[in-house]
Amino acid sequence: MQPYLLGLRLTGRRVVVVGGGRVAQRRVPTLLASGAAVELISPEVTPSLEDLLDRLVWHRRPYRPGDLEGAWLVQACADDPAVNAAVAAEAEEARVWCVRADDAHAAAAWTPATGRVGETTVGVLSGGDPRRSAGIRDAVVEGLRDATFEARHSRNKPVGVALVGGGPGDPGLITVRGRQLLAQADVVVTDRLGPRDLLDELAADVEVIDAAKIPYGRALHQDRINELLVEHAKRGRFVVRLKGGDNFVFGRGGEEALYCAAHGVPVTVVPGITSSIAAPAAAGIPVTHRGVAQEFHVVSAHVPPGHPASTVDWEALARNRGTLVLMMAVERMSLIADALMRYGRATDTPVAVVQDGTLPGQRTLVASLGTVADEMAARGVRPPAIVVVGDVVRVAEEIGNLTADMGRDP
């Protein structure tokens, strides 16, 4: 006979867990999250369970008859099958539902493979086969997370504008929440550094607006981008502003959020993985490393040192011995390197340049501060590229994750 699946509301209700091993380690956190009053019976517990002892009652002893009195649910998770059998027998006599971890077919109840996405809880049973249940659960949860199972015109459709950080370029690095909202969009306003492969997955009726800003080339003015977000949102359309990296890290997301707020349009901000950290990481460069760099500074170099519009204290950065991560620095690297050396950074300071970080064409150039500008020009480095200045580059070289040849993949 097939089981009858229920959603138990356990808030404040006594649930007894017998056993403190790996199975209990999986079950207890979920029970606590449901609000159950958990009592754990076991002479010993795992370190993970020990970390939860302030949220439950631990009877530090073996199970004994009578322990199940007043329980609403029992989990028999002992390592000894004889103990589990005794627990199950007492539960049956007391008419308390009991899950037996070691023998599903001898248990009165089964624990489904569960997953939660927002307010939706998924539970799967597959005839007592936990691996098959988990596989089906994972497929359903993934579909809910990336909105494959969500209709764009459902009752819970988002409104207004979502500023979605798309990550450093690899479409697999967008956040789960970002992908959910993208799948529900009516309009997507995207730039050239966003994960453009994801646009092909959109429904045919989604309007995609190209807001690319080509360096020294075509560009949609920021004022017009702001206007487009508000115009479409006020027509009742859900708008996703999809950008590379994180919208609030040199992405002008703050300007877009302010403009929407000023015009009464609700804004959802979905953080993204910033390329300032992701690109170095993809090349094996830790921006911090114990004993080498305790801090790092992310700098927008869209204007060079000495330019009236620059707010960067290059002299202070040169004196600092932390890691420097430079964005938008390709065209100005000669001026930047000269300024850093003039203010005190050693000419032999290691520098790495990561071009197209996380993408199939990723390449890494390693040089010194004194030679990097010439080597970048000789190797034809082009944007987008992240420049890392500091001794952490040597750490990456030591573990073999970098190559000095721009013609080879790292």
In this structure, are 261 and 303 located in the same domain? no
Q: What is the mean pLDDT of residues 260-277?
A: 96
For residue 21, being part of any structural domain is answered with: yes
Q: What whole-number distance in Å separates Cα of residue 275 and Cα of residue 277?
A: 5
Pick the catalytic residue: 79, 138, 213, 338?
213
Same domain, 228 and 285: no
191 is catalytic: yes
d(CA 32, CA 39): 10
Q: What is the pLDDT of residue 215?
A: 55
pLDDT score, position 147: 63
Query: Are 394 and 288 in the same domain?
Result: yes
CATH code (residue 242): 3.40.1010.10
Residue 7 lies in a domain: no
pLDDT at 138: 84
User: Same domain, yes or no, for 186 and 300?
Assistant: no
Asked whether residue 301 falls in the same domain as residue 368, the answer is: yes
Confirm whether 234 is a catalytic residue.
no
For 133-147, what is each residue's pLDDT tens digit? Answer: 888 888 888 777 766
**Residue 33 is part of a domain; what is its CATH number?**
3.40.50.720
Give the model's pLDDT for residue 410: 40
Residue 259 domain-assigned (yes or no): yes
Residues 251 and 312 in one domain: no
Verify that 383 and 283 share a domain, yes or no. yes
Q: pTM of this prediction?
A: 0.70
- Considering 146, 186, 191, 246, which one is annotated as catalytic? 191
Q: Are residues 92 and 192 in the same domain?
A: no
Structural domain ending residue among the three candidates 273, 298, 317? 273
Number of domains in the chain: 3
* Same domain for 264 and 240: yes
Three-class DSSP labels, 70-111: CCCEEEECCCCHHHHHHHHHHHHHHCCEEEECCCHHHCCECC
Of 273, 292, 308, which one is at a domain's C-terminal end?
273
Which residues are CB-neighbours of 236 under 8 A, at least 6 positions away?
Answer: 159
146-170 pLDDT, tens digit each: 666 664 555 677 999 999 999 998 9
Q: pLDDT value at position 403?
A: 46
**Residues 262 and 299 placed together within one structural domain of the fold:** no
Task: Verify that 331 and 386 share a domain, yes or no.
Answer: yes
Residue 387's domain spans which residues?
276-398
Q: Which of 273, 294, 315 is the last residue of a domain?
A: 273
| Residues 241 and 219 grouped into a single domain | yes
Whether 327 maps to a domain, the answer reads yes
Average pLDDT over residues 310-324: 94
